[in-house]
Structure 1
């Protein structure tokens, strides 16, 4: 990574906190951003806090990291949040704090703040800011009451002085003539009849004070929220709080929460900002999912919906299941802007037509572990989604000669748009791969292809790589370890689970397979094509693109 002169100077400036009183007064507003980035990268929470508390712009975005950069340190994020709260009483110009995409991996290098921790910290900040605003209101109300009491005392003093003056006038009038005395008494009686005080001014001054009025929102806080059973109450309290900070959500991730709790969360969530929802490990059922789709249809910007291990588990022996499927289909038809649908292990074989009852064609479709039937794949290959797909994941769905024609037709339909394809763990042998390669080679836009955990021999793997090097758009290939690289005892047609757990002969794998594959790359001049058999590194590279 190449650092600019400004970045290097900013890193040097924030490295010495004792000098901050000198430079904070004089820095121009265009240098706040590089200084803040340097404070984050150098793990300087004190500098982060001082810069954020004096932030000169209406918007502060933290979180969109460059490739290879690490997540900000946990202490730096905490200092940022604390500075935002302190800035509320300092008349800061900040109006929007955007932390979308900020979550790091819990416990990784540098101690970044993970999604769950960041969500809890944000919600705590919102609630505490509301409590602080109430305390300030109480103090202002007390000052107002004291000022009112002072005005009342001043009014009483004036009234007493007026009474003394009136008494003196009455005593002195006794020595006057009867005619003058009569006129004075008559005038005084007329004034009392009109309700005007002796001093000539109306009494009873009153100052209205509305202590119950909610404070206006000063800063909108936008973030990706991670909600589970432990944080649900805190998130609900923060979203329901009316105060100087208002929490907004871009992507919502939910784990192990009931349907009723998810509905409550959707009811109080700001509707105009939600782009995607990811539900995991929640036993929804077909009826429960259909129940959630109605409130989801009210979010106008919703583009992504993910359901992972949510156990829809259709049981036709239960009464009302067919009706629930109809409700599910009708609910999906209301999601007019959905572009990404990710479904994992939903236990609904043969119901892909229902799950894809969407009015607009999808760009991203992920269907791993879905037990797709031949009818499902046949429908998908002829659906209105096929020609617009940019990313397709069919991993861990068993493919054979009966389903392969549908897959080939699907690849043909998506040949000009498909950029990312995963067929890992699909039980594709050398023979089936040979039938698939012509259709795969026609995908002219394909950038990455995952084919791990398929039972290929070394000759089958070489055919795959030879096809890959002829695909000029392809940049990454996740290939399976050939059967020859495993230790003895592996079944003739092993499953993906067996291939994942069976030990490799490390010597053979590094000295033979890698050498032959790299020779194919060199012979074809494809130094831009990454070949890997590492599942973790492959997926991390995809995230960084």
Structure 2
């Protein structure tokens, strides 16, 4: 990527911190953004802090980076947060909204970015510390006012003593005048304490007569990651009334009990939450049904993800029928839900109960490891969601000849909307692939296709790539290693787990496989289609220029 002249100059300016006093006070507000981006990309935390403390705009967004760019360094994010706190008492800062949504990097990756959990803890600590600092400032301001009032009283006493030396009539009038002055001073002090008078400190904080109340100066919006270790700190920050107010866009919860999740949802600002992701929490059907009414109170909620939450919908269990009814009723209240992701929840035969309750069609549906039955796929292919799906993940749900008719009908219904499809680990052999390829080729808007861990031979893989090359909208294909590339001993019809664990034969010409596949692309003029077998680094949302 070619860097602009402005970004090159900005990188040079922030490279020498000793020169910052020279240019900081002269820099126009239009260049603050370029200088801040250069400070992040060059890992200059001192420059980040000085720029943020003097930020000339009401909003500062430090969100997702451009494609290919790394997340900001941990030290730079820490410098940013410290600068926001310092800016609360700096009249040069006009910041009112700090938006860090989408900022989390991968813990321990290249460049040492700040991960989701670390950023959440840092934000909560910052909110609580800002409250403590504001209370300290209020106490100091109150102490200054008490000293000023004491000085006024001493002056009044001196004047009264002097007035006693003059004539009686004159002395009486002067004493009355001084008493009125004292009452006026006391009245002004009472008004200031109630907030009716001018503010006591530079930050614009205000002190109530009964309790210390601090105005919100900066709203901090971020994606929060809460687990057992950060739960109490997050709860404290959300309950804190101070100059910084924490808001949440996407909430990720791990290993938290249902009562704790309910407490968290009750104190979370309702108007900003767009999505909630619950992982490794033993909810059960009854627990999820208990949470759904609380989720319905968030008017903008559009994404619900449940991963490994121990939902076992079995009608033969005592009380399960009632819980299932409560669950279905709760889902009807999620009026704006667009994305539903359910991973490994043991829901065979229950897909109709869940999806038919939703009031509007979904745009994204992820159902990996759900052991979907033929009845589930038959319902999905005829449901009101089929024609609106943009993203569909059916990974690790075994497909066979009894389910392929429903699968083909589903692809036909979604052919003009589907952009991302995952059929990894579905047990598709060469024969089954041949049955589904015609329907797959009709998906005219498909951008990414995941087909890993399916037992295909080299011949079947070539058929898949030839079909993919003819799909002009497709930009990325995650293909399986052909059976010929594995070491001897692999079963005739291996499972996805066996394909994942079985060693590849390094002596075989694995590079030859890649060469043959790329030759197909060249023959079809598809230099814009990325082929990969790398499961770990596959990104279905990869963007191309």
Bucket of the pairwise TM-score, normalised by the shorter protein: over 0.9
Quickly say closer, same or farther: Cα 1:526–1:199, change in 2 above 3 A. closer
Cα displacement (A) at 1:152: 1.7
2:245 is the counterpart of 1:250: no
Range with greater deviation from structure 2 (221-230 or 516-525) = 516-525
Structure 2 distance, partners of 1:320, 1:486, is 49
| 1:331 counterpart residue number | 330
Pairing of 1:107-126 with structure 2 (within 5 A): 107-126=108-127
Unaligned ranges ≥5, structure 2:
194-207
Give the secondary structure class of the aligned counterpart of 1:398.
coil
Cα displacement (A) at 1:476: 1.1
| 1:230 counterpart residue number | 229
Quickly say closer, same or farther: Cα 1:498–1:204, change in 2 above 3 A. same
Cα displacement (A) at 1:157: 2.3
Pairing of 1:20-39 with structure 2 (within 5 A): 20-39=20-39
Give the secondary structure class of the aligned counterpart of 2:538.
helix
Alignment deviations for residues 444-483 of structure 1 (CA, whole Å, 9 cap, x no partner): 1111111110111111111111111111111111111111
2:491 is the counterpart of 1:516: no
| 2:73 counterpart residue number | 73
| 1:154 counterpart residue number | 155
Give the secondary structure class of the aligned counterpart of 1:525.
coil
Quickly say closer, same or farther: Cα 1:381–1:169, change in 2 above 3 A. closer
2:363 is the counterpart of 1:368: no
| 2:128 counterpart residue number | 127
| 1:436 counterpart residue number | 436
Alignment deviations for residues 409-443 of structure 1 (CA, whole Å, 9 cap, x no partner): 11010011011100000011111111111111111
Structure 2 distance, partners of 1:419, 1:500, is 26
| 1:270 counterpart residue number | 269
Q: CA RMSD in A?
A: 1.8
| 1:179 counterpart residue number | none
Structure 1 distance, partners of 2:43, 2:540, is 24
Quickly say closer, same or farther: Cα 1:90–1:111, change in 2 above 3 A. same
Cα displacement (A) at 1:199: 4.9
Range with greater deviation from structure 2 (161-170 or 405-414) = 161-170
Pairing of 1:170-189 with structure 2 (within 5 A): none
TM-score by length of 1: 0.93
Number of residue pairs the alignment of both structures matches = 522
Alignment deviations for residues 351-398 of structure 1 (CA, whole Å, 9 cap, x no partner): 111221210100000000011011111111111000000010000001
Contact 1:197–1:203 at 8 Å: present in 2 too?
no
Contact 1:343–1:366 at 8 Å: present in 2 too?
yes
| 1:144 counterpart residue number | 145
| 1:301 counterpart residue number | 300
Structure 2 distance, partners of 1:541, 1:222, is 24
Cα displacement (A) at 1:161: 2.7
Cα displacement (A) at 1:169: 7.7
| 1:281 counterpart residue number | 280
Cα displacement (A) at 1:541: 6.1
Give the secondary structure class of the aligned counterpart of 1:504.
coil
Structure 1 distance, partners of 2:178, 2:435, is 106
Range with greater deviation from structure 2 (262-271 or 158-167) = 158-167
Structure 1 distance, partners of 2:161, 2:150, is 17
Quickly say closer, same or farther: Cα 1:321–1:154, change in 2 above 3 A. same
Contact 2:485–2:510 at 8 Å: present in 1 too?
no
| 1:535 counterpart residue number | 535
TM-score by length of 2: 0.93
Cα displacement (A) at 1:156: 2.1
| 1:94 counterpart residue number | 95
Structure 1 distance, partners of 2:170, 2:455, is 117
Give the secondary structure class of the aligned counterpart of 2:525.
coil
Cα displacement (A) at 1:308: 0.5
Cα displacement (A) at 1:512: 2.9
Alignment deviations for residues 111-132 of structure 1 (CA, whole Å, 9 cap, x no partner): 1100000000000000000000
Pairing of 1:395-434 with structure 2 (within 5 A): 395-434=395-434
Give the secondary structure class of the aligned counterpart of 1:427.
coil
Cα displacement (A) at 1:167: 5.2
Cα displacement (A) at 1:19: 0.6
Cα displacement (A) at 1:80: 0.5
Structure 2 distance, partners of 1:106, 1:32, is 28
Cα displacement (A) at 1:228: 0.4
Alignment deviations for residues 477-501 of structure 1 (CA, whole Å, 9 cap, x no partner): 1111111111110001100000011
Contact 2:449–2:540 at 8 Å: present in 1 too?
no
2:455 is the counterpart of 1:468: no
Give 1 or 2 for the bigger CA radius of gyration: 1
